[in-house]
Amino acid sequence: MRSPVGARIGLCWLVAAGYIGLVIALISPASGERGSLVTVLLIMAGYVIQGI
Phi-psi sector, 3: left (phi>0), alpha (psi -120 to 50), beta? beta
How many residues are there in the chain?
52
pLDDT in tens, 11-50: 888 888 888 788 878 887 778 888 788 888 888 887 887 7
pLDDT per residue over 38-49, tens digit each?
888 888 887 887
The pTM is what? 0.61
C-alpha separations of 10 from 6, 15, 24, 37, 50 in Å: 6, 9, 21, 23, 11
Cβ(35)–Cβ(23) below 8 Å: no
Mean pLDDT of the chain: 81
